[in-house]
Amino acid sequence: MARKYEITIGIECHVQLKTKTKLFSEVDNDARGKEPNSCVSPVDYALPGMLPRLNGEAVRLAIRAGAAMNAKINPDSRFDRKHYFYPDSPKGYQITQFYHPIIGEGFVELPSGKKIRIEHAHLEGDAGKLTHFDTYSLVDLNRVDTPLLEIVSMPDISSPEEARDYCKELWRNMVYAGVTNGDLYNGNMRFDVNISLKKPEDTKLGTRAEIKNLNSFRSIERAAAYEYERQSKLLDKGEKVIQETRGWSDATGVTTGQRSKEEAQDYRYMPEPDLPPLSLTQDFIKAEYDKCPALPADYRARFTKVITEDTLEVLLDYPELVNRLAEIADGGQPVDYIANLFASVLLAEENQSLLNDNLPSANQLTELAAMKSKNELSSTSAKEVFIKLFEPKHCDKTPLELAKELNLVQENDSGALEAIVDAVLAKPETAKAQADYKAGQEKVLGFLVGQVMKESHGKANPSAVSEILKKKLK
């Protein structure tokens, strides 16, 4: 689509790190399905005299996340207080890294090959959750000081589609790196999209609006597209875009202006006196950096010749499937057939629930692919065995055992097949077809193959049957 204005987008993303405990206290960090205020310590309540204690695992995960963004790790970083008054923060400030963040410049490479630069990323504690009622609000502190990594991109993104691609690739990288559960539904990654418009000939960027708190790739793309329309209409009319925070509604499909938390954005940042600074050695940084496993970009490079781009992009949303393919490839076995089974059978809508079950092992999948290529299983039967291997009652069986049990092994033994063919040819009801074939009507061969398949209860290999019939009816 040709656009009248150029779009400039920068994105801030909050990634919830999957530590066992919170960033500054020793209570459970996983509050899913738990009662309000049940994962809260006196530190989270900011009771007088309570001191934060930094979670070392959050530091390690931040470094690994930095590796997943090709980023420089700053050996020296420290924490600051960001003050604001709101009931979601009993302390009256958020502990964050304003002046000296742990992660410096990096980049995320999109599937298109374009690199989106990362400005920096820093550790900070989350706020509590508010629920609003008619005359009052309720505060749940379970989420207070859950460790977040805020990743700030440079304004390198130039379309709503690219904004979606960036967020998706960042999500994949963080999930592959193992630093977050990446559960978008539960807000494990939340995106703030800054967007401004300018005429192509203008050198200065336009005034930006920030759309806060998006948590799905689709809403990111839709909200950015809506914001383009809204801002371009204002500019067309000669009006000005106001710099403000806006909220997005999936239901109405529009963004609306929000009142700011604190009228005066005066956060009075100051060094956090309760937390000593970090001064990491290169050895420590390298040890964590090296723990970052293969990322989507690595798999694209590795599988580019064997799996089609479309199939691979679909599979990359499922790290456990891609890891399994890598395991098979590590064993020197082909992955193309299995990749297609994953994409076209497992991820078909009616089978998606299998993802919650037991994923067949590399050995099982390799054997299944071999049986298929040796024609011991028809493609329909191979799919059936594949699906059944996910079931807990079958998951310990080999594909051969399971295929035998289901009576699906294809008969390839030519002696056995010939016997069945002979029996069928001896039947009076096939006599006319035989005569027609010999008279040159080649299409009746299909009928005869069908009769043999029926006689074999579907277990004969149809192409082998066809060859035998042709030979016998010469």
The nearer residue to other proteins, 62 or 468, going by C-beta atoms, is 62
The nearer residue to other proteins, 23 or 220, going by C-beta atoms, is 23
The nearer residue to other proteins, 106 or 147, going by C-beta atoms, is 147
Q: How far is the first Cα of the chain from the last one, in angstroms, to the nearest whole number?
A: 62
Residues 6+ apart with CB under 8 A from 312: 299, 300, 303, 304, 339
The nearer residue to other proteins, 131 or 352, going by C-beta atoms, is 131
Q: Is 436 exposed, middle or buried (0-12, 13-18, 19+ CB in 10 A)?
A: middle
For other proteins, the binding residue among 14, 64, 78, 388 (CB under 8 A) is 78
Q: Which stretch binds other proteins (CB under 8 A): 34-42, 233-241, 368-376, 439-447?
A: 34-42
Q: Which stretch binds other proteins (CB under 8 A): 35-43, 213-221, 365-373, 450-458?
A: 35-43
Task: Please tell me whether residue 67 binds other proteins under the rule CB under 8 A.
Answer: no
Per-residue contact track with other proteins, 227 to 266, x per CB under 8 A? --------------------------------x--xxx-x
Task: Please tell me whether residue 134 binds other proteins under the rule CB under 8 A.
Answer: yes
Task: Please tell me whether residue 47 binds other proteins under the rule CB under 8 A.
Answer: yes
Q: Alpha-carbon distance 243 to 228, whole Å?
A: 14
Count of residues interacting with other proteins (CB under 8 A): 53
Pick from 171, 169, 165: nearest CA to 185: 171
Q: Which stretch binds other proteins (CB under 8 A): 42-50, 224-232, 331-339, 343-351?
A: 42-50
In angstroms, what is the minimal distance from the CB of 276 to other proteins? 4
Pick from 196, 105, 211, 184: nearest CA to 151: 105
Q: Which stretch binds other proteins (CB under 8 A): 186-194, 274-282, 349-357, 433-441?
A: 274-282
Task: Please tell me whether residue 132 binds other proteins under the rule CB under 8 A.
Answer: yes
Per-residue contact track with other proteins, 164 to 193, x per CB under 8 A? ------------------------------
Measured at the CA of 80, the angle between CA 79 and CA 85, to 5 degrees, comes to 135
For other proteins, the binding residue among 5, 6, 8, 36 (CB under 8 A) is 36
Measured at the CA of 354, the angle between CA 353 and CA 357, to 5 degrees, comes to 115
Task: Please tell me whether residue 32 binds other proteins under the rule CB under 8 A.
Answer: no
Q: Alpha-carbon distance 210 to 11, whole Å?
A: 9
Residues 6+ apart with CB under 8 A from 252: none
Pick from 249, 213, 257: nearest CA to 231: 257
Distances (CA, A) of 389 to 299, 436, 460: 25, 44, 23
The nearer residue to other proteins, 249 or 379, going by C-beta atoms, is 249
C-alpha count within 13 angstroms, C-beta hemisphere, residue 247: 7
For other proteins, the binding residue among 112, 202, 229, 277 (CB under 8 A) is 277
Give yes or no for a contact between 402 and 371, defined as CB atoms under 8 angstroms apart.
Answer: no
Q: Which residues of this chain interact with other proteins, rule CB under 8 A?
A: 19-21, 26-28, 35-38, 40-42, 45, 47, 53-59, 78, 83, 85-87, 130-141, 259, 262-264, 266, 268, 271, 273, 275-280
